[in-house]
Amino acid sequence: MRALIRKELAQLLPVALLFLTLFLLDGVMALLVTPVDQMGWSDILDVLKPDSSRALSFFHYLFGFSLAFCLFPREYEDGTIAFLHTLPISRRGIFLAKWGAAQLLILGVVSLTQVFYFALHLVSADSMGYAQFHLATAVTIAALWGLVAGLGLAHGLLLSFGRNYGLLVWATLAWLVTRFETLAPRLMWLDPTRLGAARYYGVQLEVAWSDALCHLLAALVCLVLAERLWSGRGGQATRAYSDSARALPGRFALGCAGFLIVIFLAIVLIGGDSSDDKDETFQSFQTARLVTRHYQFTFPVNLRNRAVQLAGSADRIYEAAVKALNAPEGPPIVADLTDVSYAHLGIASKGKMRVDITQDGDPKLLEHILFHETCHVLAHRIAGKRLQDYTAAASFFSEGSSEYEAFEAISSKRSRRASRQQAVAMWSRHKLKFTDLTDPEKLMRHLDEGTPYTLGEIWVAALVDVYGPTAPGRVYASIGRPDGPDIRDPVVFWQDTLQAEGFSFERVRAAWLRRLKQLETEEADFLARLPRLTTTVSRDGEGVWLEVRADRALPKDWRLVARVRKNAGSKTVPLTMKEGRFYVGDNPGSFDYQAGVDFNRDAYPFVETWHTAHSGKS
């Protein structure tokens, strides 16, 4: 047995040295471009970074897979297997010896890789600082890489029985697995290379134990099948393969296998990433990825620290949001942090969100936004398509519940009091009713997009007052019930939705009005200081201007704001004040304009209704 293992080690050593060189190449290249005494451990070992690619994990899998194809096919095709069968060792013993030799080389390569990077780290000035070597982390990484390579070895031993036809099967399965990320996220765990990529829960390197156990069981099945095949029918398979390789169909199949493998390797090396939303484009020119237990982040590389800090608390935020809404578990949320928008700080849909981290780097504010958008994703998970069908009627509840839960969980500079001040001012000055909330297009046409958030947050607070903290999640479940009727009237829709859960629409609406009237009393001083605005349109040699006048002096930290749009369905553009006036443009033609008061930079402003200027005249 020992002599056979030594023979196999000698035969496989060139393959192991080739892959060892590949794995150490990153560290060698780092030595050529950066003084080693200035590199921290995470700079030397790139896989420690949370946005590291799965390419290195894939090459460890390929290492084990390549070793497998160097074991039995060579023995049978060279005719040396007959000599091994004459040795005083069973055929199962031969199989185990070959597998054991390959496993020893895998263990040696992953261990030498970590020893090499540790040796480089010893002369680093940061060796005792924030980037210091951590033995447990190094062992974890080595174990994960060894596991991935071992899986490749097990799969290769089974597929090598079919020679190049096995490669054809492998290439097809590998291509399908790469598509799971976009087509079937719940099946992404089937990709064995995910086990060797860095995943974090906060800042703690995480091991997907359940996924690893499933892959180990599958690998054990592959080994048992491979042993039965190679020990019993290896010679027959070799003769059948040789005969087919000389025939035209066989040569065609082998050509297809080679073509598919080349294409698949090209995709992996290029690192291309496709999305099922072809119309989405990211503003950042250079991005990186970061994966936690519940999120897959894409972020601009120049804002890495901001993104990593947010990701450190992301899983805690997710778990708090799931608990608040009693939402079911689901696949990781795709979070694009490269969005740039003056209109919003975040937007979400089913399973995805976009967050603008460029405007404000306050960690707690970003956590608030992430919590808000996570609630949107979970709401879609609970209520499903019916929530989309009733987007208009349910918009205020969707935004209000997300904002309510974010305020409950995160304390940030986004003030709940300022939000409710805006809400009571809009409700009091514009005489808004519940039916206005259920028609967001009309509300945006006449006022703004922020009011459904603020008044909706108070409505959800009233719902919780009456039916407790679990009520928002129960309402989403009621919206998504499969037997929900088709209702056109939004008020009837809400009566039916609440009644199906045992709630009373009238009680909630009454509690909402009580809260608003109470706020009107509590914020009487704020409402008294809030001015009434008069806006006029004027023209001079420079172009068209808006002049906004307040009927009383503004507090020191308040300011006037103005914005314009081409029409009710077009984009809103904020204006810049110059010498007490707002410049619209040289010749804007007809446009809508709106004035308001920004009383808190981290809240929605109070605004007056929209007006239309025809050809630059009020």
Between 105 and 30, the more confident residue is 105
CA–CA separation, 83 vs 297, rounded Å?
Answer: 55
CA distances from 24 to 105, 111, 120, 197, 265 (A): 16, 12, 11, 17, 20
| CA distance linking residue 171 with residue 179, whole number of Å | 13
277 vs 132 pLDDT, higher one: 132
Determine contact, residues 563/543, Cβ cutoff 8 Å: no
Task: State pLDDT tens for residues 36-59.
Answer: 665 655 555 666 655 455 678 888
Q: Of 22-26, 126-130, 497-501, which range is least confident?
A: 126-130
Q: Mean pLDDT, to the nearest integer, of 405-430?
A: 91
How far is the C-alpha of 297 from the C-alpha of 287, rounded, in Å? 10
Report the share of the chain in percent with pLDDT over 70: 79
Contact 422, 603 (CB under 8 A): yes
Convert the pLDDT of each residue in 170-193 to its tens digit: 777 777 776 665 555 666 777 888
- Is 35:124 a contact under the CB 8 Å cutoff? no
Q: How far apart, in whole angstroms, are the C-alpha atoms of residue 148 and residue 211?
A: 12
pLDDT, tens digit, 9 for 90 and up, residues 507-566: 999 999 999 999 999 999 999 999 999 999 988 888 888 999 998 889 888 999 999 888
> What's the pLDDT tens digit per position in 369-401?
999 999 999 999 999 888 888 888 889 999 999
Look up tokens 């805006």; give the residue.
422
Is the per-residue pLDDT at 487 higher than 50? yes
Angle at 314 between CA 128 and CA 213, to 5 degrees: 80
Q: How confident is the model at residue 240 (pLDDT cuts 50, 70, 90)?
A: low
Confidence class of residue 474 from pLDDT cuts 50, 70 and 90?
A: very high
At 595, the pLDDT band (50, 70, 90 cuts) reads very high
DSSP lists the bridge partners of residue 292 as 200
What are the tens digits of pLDDT across the range 255-282? 666 666 666 556 554 544 443 443 333 3
Q: Which two tokens stand for residue 44?
A: 């030397």
β-strand pairing of 204-205 with 200-201:
antiparallel
Average pLDDT over residues 295-310: 84
Q: Determine which of 157-161, 243-247, 253-257, 279-283 has the lowest per-residue pLDDT on average.
A: 279-283
- In this structure, the dihedral spanned by the alpha carbons of residues 404, 410, 416 and 419, taken in order and rounded to 10 degrees, is -70
Contact 566, 582 (CB under 8 A): no
Dump pLDDT digits (tens) for 349-363.
778 888 888 877 788
Torsion angle of C-alpha atoms 435, 436, 440, 446, degrees rounded to 10: 160
Band the pLDDT of 239: cuts 50, 70, 90: low
Dihedral (Cα; 324, 327, 333, 339), 10-degree rounding: -50
69 closest CA partner among 37, 89, 98, 44 = 98
pLDDT band for 83, please (50, 70, 90 cuts). confident
Average pLDDT over residues 199-208: 62
Q: What is the 3-state secondary structure (H, E, C) of 41-56?
A: HHHHCHHHCCCCCCHH
pTM greater than the 0.85 cutoff: no
Domains with residue ranges and CATH for the chain: 2-270 (no CATH), 280-383 (3.30.2010.30), 391-529 (no CATH), 531-613 (2.60.40.10)
pLDDT over 90 (residue 492): yes
pLDDT of residue 128: 44
**Residue type at position 58:** F
Question: What is the number of other CB atoms lying within 10 angstroms of the CB of residue 512?
Answer: 23
DSSP code for 609: -
Ramachandran angles phi, psi of 508, nearest 5°:
-70, -45
